[in-house]
Structure 1
């Protein structure tokens, strides 16, 4: 399968809005550039007409310019190797590719070879999720990672002492990548599943559920998460903006979840809820 890359230039104040809009169109990997961002999508899910219609609404306001490029699957490694810089989160967590040297001062060292999957830690939502994970007791816990992407959050759960970890993704090549990264970090025991919320129906309850997806999916699938969350368990969400937080809080309250806290970065949010 090949990929479509959209290199987009826009006014800085519209970057977050356009990222969210493209996420709604199915783009699921993003990287910042000095003048905007690059967005990636499977070729078979790309619609030039939908992209044109969406961007036309912002053309004048956001001064949008963009180019569409096809990237062959076999050339993806070259693409991300050119752009993937090592990252240090919360002065504790090193996120790097296998061709980067291991830092000496990292408490946790995670190696990620993304291969077109979302989640290198560079996006605000992944960073926020890891920062919130660091505040939770994972020791001996059963953890679920919905929309796992590269598997970075599931691997972080392993680093923090989780005893059982399930990760779920909707794309077969992403599942393959998450399994590769799990093995690369010595967590081959992580159960990586292909599918959506239906794959967790009837599971044994989880102590912690991680879901870094997007506003609409979170609102739709939150009942499925709560159905497999232990009383007293924690639901950690991200993939949405500050203006979306009230809607997520309202939905959570309807389902018996209590809001605990949230943190933000560049208008992105990661929120913690407890199941009473």
Structure 2
């Protein structure tokens, strides 16, 4: 199945509103740019009438233009190969494609082939999660990477000493991509699984949960994450804007998850909570 890329040109204050609206009609990945943002969903979920209705409601609030295109598997590969540049996070983690040389002086070198999946470290939420993983004890831990994308956070977890990692995503090609990336990085303790939160029904507890998805999914599924997390264990959330942190924190408190700290990058947030 192919992706739909919706390109929106809008001022920042309007863009934030539109992201929230588009999340309600199936868009689950967003990337900021200087002129607004791009939103992504799968072709089967895309509803052009719903998008047009949302845009029509906000036309009078500022300059607003939008368009969409289909990104096929082949075109996606060409796009990332053309634009993907090596990245170094916190001076410790490099993220690169196989055709880039390994940089000097980094502790962790992650090789990623994104294909049709998201999560190269270039998006703010992935970069925030990787950096925050560096400050969380993974040694000997059982880790859940929910909404794994390319598998980059799962790979980082194994590099940081996790004894077992379950990487879960709802898209078949994403799970396939995560498996390939785990193999590319010689990972041995990562299981990649197709599905959503329902696939966790019979799982044993996790010592650490990584959930970089989006606001709506986090709010809807947080009770299940909390159920799988023993007291005293951490969970890292990302995939939402700074203005949504209060909503995430309020739901977390209802699930006995205690706020610890958060970091931001261009209005995106990664937040750490501990199970009470």
User: TM-score band, normalised by the shorter chain?
Assistant: over 0.9
Structure 1 unmatched ranges of 5 or more: none
Residues 1-276 of structure 1 mapped to structure 2, 5 A cutoff: 1-276=1-276
Q: Any idea what SS the aligned residue of 1:25 has?
A: coil
TM-score (norm 1): 0.93
Q: Which moved more, 1:239-248 or 1:105-114?
A: 239-248
Counterpart-to-counterpart distance in 2, 1:212 and 1:103: 26
Counterpart-to-counterpart distance in 2, 1:65 and 1:274: 42
Per-residue deviation, residues 28-60 of structure 1 (Å, max 9, x unmatched) = 444444433333322112111111112222333
Distance 1:106 1:22, change over 3 A: farther
Counterpart-to-counterpart distance in 1, 2:20 and 2:86: 25
Q: Any idea what SS the aligned residue of 1:58 has?
A: helix
What is the CA distance between 1:144 and its match in structure 2?
0.3
- Kindly indicate whether the alpha-carbon contact (under 8 Å) linking 1:30 and 1:118 is maintained by their aligned counterparts in 2: no
Structure 2 unmatched ranges of 5 or more: none
Q: Any idea what SS the aligned residue of 1:129 has?
A: helix
Distance 1:72 1:239, change over 3 A: closer
TM-score (norm 2): 0.93
Per-residue deviation, residues 191-225 of structure 1 (Å, max 9, x unmatched) = 11111111112211111001111222112211111
Distance 1:174 1:20, change over 3 A: farther
Counterpart-to-counterpart distance in 2, 1:23 and 1:179: 27
- Kindly indicate whether the alpha-carbon contact (under 8 Å) linking 1:202 and 1:228 is maintained by their aligned counterparts in 2: no
Per-residue deviation, residues 206-261 of structure 1 (Å, max 9, x unmatched) = 11001111222112211111111122111111112222222222222222222111
| Backbone CA RMSD of aligned residues | 1.8
Distance 1:16 1:103, change over 3 A: farther
Q: Any idea what SS the aligned residue of 2:274 has?
A: strand
Counterpart-to-counterpart distance in 2, 1:253 and 1:56: 36
